[in-house]
Structure 1
Amino acid sequence: MSQPDQSLAEGVCDVESGICALPGDSAPLPGASAGTPAPEVGLTRITYVTDPICSACWILEPAWRSLTERYRDLVDVHHVYGGLLRGWQGFHDAGNGIRRPEDVAHHWDKFAQLSGQPINSSVWWSDPIDSSYPPSIALAAVRRLAPAQEEAYLRRLREELFLDGRNIAAPELLEALVVELGLDVSSYRRLIENGEAESEFERDLVRTHELGARGFPTLILEGPDGRVVLHGWIQPDRLENTFLTVSGATRRPLISSIDDATERLGTGTSLEYAALTGHSVTEVEELLAQAGATSRPVGKGKAWSPKPRKTP
């Protein structure tokens, strides 16, 4: 893989702003998303500049999932992977006191405490991630192989990392998740081995520059009624109100039924279920337990898995 610009080599995450930022000067965001056609009539294009190990992106998940689950037929989502961590050699984030992988664990714990979105930071002690490039390349391969499954694959990577504390740069785990989604693992391997997935990821690195996105998450919403750029971790109401402004769509109700919510979300944190249903965390945990969902501790919070459906 050719070496991208050094300014894309390593990122820093700021607890105060809720942004995982790339070093270097910011370029102005262009008037339209670089390299993409205008959104289809009636749809709002959301370009999401992100990285699979971005903790700020993880704490955006309650807002993101609530929006995309309720308005899925009105949005056209495109992910761009910006390369948060090329590697640890020479890395030093003085502002956050991060020199080594272990330092990230304390940083993630602060993000969890600030947001209420639980994070399992154990990976930085037990099996540190050397680079976010391997999972980003795997995501590029899935995009080429089955575009409709890209977001599901990204979500599973995040669950494995932030809920289960697993190293998502491990090739065997990346392949296992491809199999789990029912994709052709032979085709996936071919895209990895022949360099097509790397080339796709390199185009994302370039596009991150073209978009002027200097931090993760960056959301560029382009709809019939306008264009807005959002940076960092934001609350569900702000994300939804911005979407409604640019899309001209009518506000839709929250998913108050816990059965409907579990069918839509599947595995999710208490905060994610609370954002989708409008219940408090305490209320939604009681409702999930009554519905037969199982929970497991993650940091100081919980992750839930719905009760398995009976098959005929």
Structure 2
Amino acid sequence: MSNQNMMCDLETGVCGTTEDGEMEIIDFNQSKKKIDLYYVTDPICSHCWALEPVLRRFEQQYSNYVKVHTVMGGLLEKWDGFGDTANGIAKPSDVAGHWREVGEQSRMPIDGTLWYDNPVHSSYPPSLVFKVIQKQDPTLANVFLRRIREALFAFNQNIANASVLINIVNQLNLNGEAIVKKAEQSSGQQLLNEDFELAANLGVRGFPTVILVNEENKGVKVVGARPLQTYVAALKQLLEKEELQPDLQPTLANWLKEEKLLFSKEIEVMYDIEQQDIDAFIKKELSTTRYQMKDVLGEVYLTAE
């Protein structure tokens, strides 16, 4: 700032040069606009599991721009009459190969052998439990969704079984038996039907689908698991901004403390590091943190102690 700009005008009471009047209306709403983000998904959707690393980073860094609504889509009500010709799926055992392919491509570990001997008969039971928890606590519902996906994809548990659901809900310090029982009532189905109606109104036909909608009710739809840049570009388009100000990524120590379990691919995406550098990065970032490093299906994952 030059000396001239530092001059104070006794008449206007302003130090520095300005063309502003004594009083004016300023509109700050433009910078505070929030976008509604509808994440339409299903607990047994393998591509939704593959999207986890990108979606988690997007939510961590751009939550100041968006309000996220997680919507259940109803992928599998029952096997009778179900068919996915695009992926060659007509019966439960057909899913295993498809899941294996998604897991290998995304590096989010997927076992899938349960489709041979203990297949998921429907994605509705975990979806119903999600809706019951979401009505009480949306944040905790998202934790539940994460836990059942870990159980299903990485650790090969049948999340359509009531006993598995009860155990996972109990781990959230909730009454698993009561919540699963409530989910089986007509009120639970009504909550799920509301999501199905919303998904239909949004024009969703596959999962994952992310729809961003602004205050003028204009939106951008992103179908499938896409790179981070795709979602950022959609957000810029709706906000009509060339640049955004993302939040900093959390430290790995804080993130692990919050999430309890993180897979290598998620860490790589969050911090822009290569797979071969993951060990050194973890040792550096968690030098004073107690954790366990484990392996599942050839992929490293961390758990907090």
Give the distance between the partners of 2:189 and 2:235, measured in 1 at CA: 32
In 2, are the aligned partners of 1:145 and 1:187 still within 8 Å (CA)?
Answer: no
Q: Taking structure 1 as the reference length, what is the TM-score of the superposition? A: 0.77
Match runs of 1:224-239 below 5 Å:
227-239=219-231
Distance 1:195 1:168, change over 3 A: same
1:99-155 residue CA offsets vs partner (Å, 9 max, x unmatched): 322221111111122223221222213421001111111111111222231211111
Answer with 69-78 or 100-109: which moved more: 69-78
Distance 1:92 1:193, change over 3 A: closer
Report the alpha carbon displacement of residue 256 of structure 1 after superposing the two structures with TM: 7.5
Match runs of 1:65-76 below 5 Å:
65-76=56-67
Give 2:280's aligned residue: 286
Answer with 59-68 or 230-239: which moved more: 230-239
Give 2:21's aligned residue: none
* 2:190 is the alignment partner of 1:195: no
In 2, are the aligned partners of 1:163 and 1:303 still within 8 Å (CA)?
Answer: no
Q: What is the aligned length?
A: 267
Match runs of 1:80-119 below 5 Å:
80-119=71-110
Give the distance between the partners of 1:124 and 1:193, measured in 2 at CA: 24
Distance 1:258 1:299, change over 3 A: same
Give the distance between the partners of 1:190 and 1:103, measured in 2 at CA: 31
Report the alpha carbon displacement of residue 186 of structure 1 after superposing the two structures with TM: 6.4
Give 1:164's aligned residue: 155
Answer with 277-286 or 165-174: which moved more: 277-286
* 2:125 is the alignment partner of 1:134: yes
Give the distance between the partners of 1:283 and 1:256, measured in 2 at CA: 19
In 1, are the aligned partners of 2:111 and 2:155 still within 8 Å (CA)?
Answer: yes
In 2, are the aligned partners of 1:261 and 1:273 still within 8 Å (CA)?
Answer: no
* Identical positions, percent: 30
Q: List runs of 5+ in structure 1 lacking aligned partners.
A: 1-40
Select the structure with the greater relative contact order (CA < 8 A; seq sep ≥ 6).
1
In 1, are the aligned partners of 2:126 and 2:160 still within 8 Å (CA)?
Answer: yes
Give 2:295's aligned residue: 297
Q: Taking structure 2 as the reference length, what is the TM-score of the superposition? A: 0.79
Distance 1:276 1:264, change over 3 A: farther
